[in-house]
Structure 1
Amino acid sequence: MHSRSSTREDELELERQLVVRAQAKDREALGELLGRYGPGLYRSVLLPRLGSEAAAKDALADTYAKVVERIDRFTWQNVGFYPWLRTLALRVAIDQLRARKRMLVWDADDVERSLDADAGGDGGTDQSLSEHQDRAAARAKVTHAMGTIHPRYARAIQLRILEERPREEVATLLEVTPATFDVLLHRAIAALKKALASAKESEDTP
């Protein structure tokens, strides 16, 4: 146990040194920090909430830009760099969700709650545990919401929004014209919104 604790302390110290170098405009150190946590941030924080690879990649790029802009404001608290990075990513996700007009898996309020929950703790969320919780929460939300709407609606959302397949391809798979598919997708999103709203009301009811 002591050895494991010492190893963690050593890792934190090495990371702290990387942060110090990054704050001194050392691009190599900053690149190492982002390379260490970026893939997990994309896979477990951004992609589940934003619902598409393109949106998640844009959000990751925006997160990196904010890190470059704000790294000098970061204060080391001996819990690692990841919690701060994750908070930035969540805020980027909130901004992106609010700017979008179509309904995806998570909405801005959902991500706000994630951020508020983090703020209520000590900020020391372990990366692997945090990623596991993020994936589990996203998976549960998707499974529940998609399972409560008409299967055809769920398939339309899965193919067009979550998998981002071309409109014409999805219309062909569903054996409808592109124009008819547009109507179908609109109704599917409305059904999903209603299902999510009902689930949220249930969660908020004491």
Structure 2
Amino acid sequence: MVASVTAQRPDLEAERRLCERAAQGDRVALGQLLRTHGPVLYRSVLLPRLGSEAVAQDALAETYARVVEKFGQFQWQNCGIYPWLRVIALRIALDMLRARKRETLFEPDDLQREIDASEAEPSGRADVELCEQRDLAEARTRVEVALGRLNPRYASAIRLRVLEERPREEVARELGVTVATFDVVLHRAMTALKKALGAGVVPGAVSEQGASREAM
């Protein structure tokens, strides 16, 4: 879910010139900036937090649209443009999480705190590769490690329904339960995962037999 994408470190002087041209209405320059940073935004910012490739792709498109709309507000700093793009992408992800009616891996409050922390960071030179590694490491720690330590039944329910977005009926059949029982399993699985993510630790796995009793 959170495969790494290695981004070349930007030439900040060249990037600054592109930003100046984009601010003057040069769409080619703006497109080059988005092509440079878009893959990293998708893989390390949007996909880990939204969990779905389709939703993350929609979020990236919305991020591009927001950048075009707001670029006149961007002010160059020595950290380059990536931190500004990253906050926009986080805000788009936050809006999408708030709008979704079904289970999500991250709560909107989680992203709001992350946005607040990002905006409070000092504006020194940013290393895009280090930012990406930090985002991916956090996502792996908060989701993949958590899923790996949850009861396998719970982890399967989350992976199939939330990450892969497969229909409830299909996932219930694969788990060998009724749809009503699957809804209970998924609810309890999400509760366990969110509790672990919120606490920053992962609880020990429960037995399959115990999970089955809980789901009945």
TM (normalized to structure 1)?
0.83
Q: Distance in 2 between matches of 1:10 and 1:172?
A: 49
SS at match of 1:122: coil
User: Structure 2 vs 1, CA of residues 168 and 42 (structure 1 numbering), >3 Å: closer, same or farther?
Assistant: same
- Match of 1:98, as an amino acid? R
Instruction: Say if 1:149 and 1:195, in contact at 8 Å, map to a contact too.
Output: no
1:104 aligns with 2:130: no
- Give the match for residue 42 of structure 1: 42
Aligned identity (percent) is 59
- Give the match for residue 88 of structure 2: 88
Say what the alpha-carbon RMSD is for the aligned residues. 2.4
Runs of 5+ consecutive residues of structure 2 not aligned to the other structure: 1-7, 202-216
1:18 Cα deviation from its structure 2 partner: 1.1
| Relative contact order, higher structure (CA 8 A, sep 6+) | 2
1:63 Cα deviation from its structure 2 partner: 0.9
Count of matched residue positions in the alignment of Structure 1 and Structure 2: 193
1:40 Cα deviation from its structure 2 partner: 0.6
Instruction: Say if 1:153 and 1:184, in contact at 8 Å, map to a contact too.
Output: yes
SS at match of 2:11: helix
- Give the match for residue 129 of structure 1: 130
1:179 Cα deviation from its structure 2 partner: 4.2
Structure having the higher helix fraction is: 1
Instruction: Say if 1:49 and 1:105, in contact at 8 Å, map to a contact too.
Output: yes
User: Structure 2 vs 1, CA of residues 151 and 9 (structure 1 numbering), >3 Å: closer, same or farther?
Assistant: closer
Aligned residue runs from structure 1 range 99-178, under 5 A: 99-123=99-123, 124-147=125-148, 149-178=150-179
Instruction: Say if 1:103 and 1:193, in contact at 8 Å, map to a contact too.
Output: no
1:147 Cα deviation from its structure 2 partner: 4.5
Q: Distance in 1 between matches of 2:85 and 2:48?
A: 17
Deviating more after overlay: 90-99 vs 110-119? 110-119
Q: Distance in 2 between matches of 1:66 and 1:75?
A: 16
Superposed structure 1 runs of 4+ greater than 6 Å apart? none
- Match of 2:126, as an amino acid? T
SS at match of 1:106: coil
TM (normalized to structure 2)?
0.79
- Match of 1:143, as an amino acid? E
1:192 Cα deviation from its structure 2 partner: 2.5
SS at match of 2:122: coil
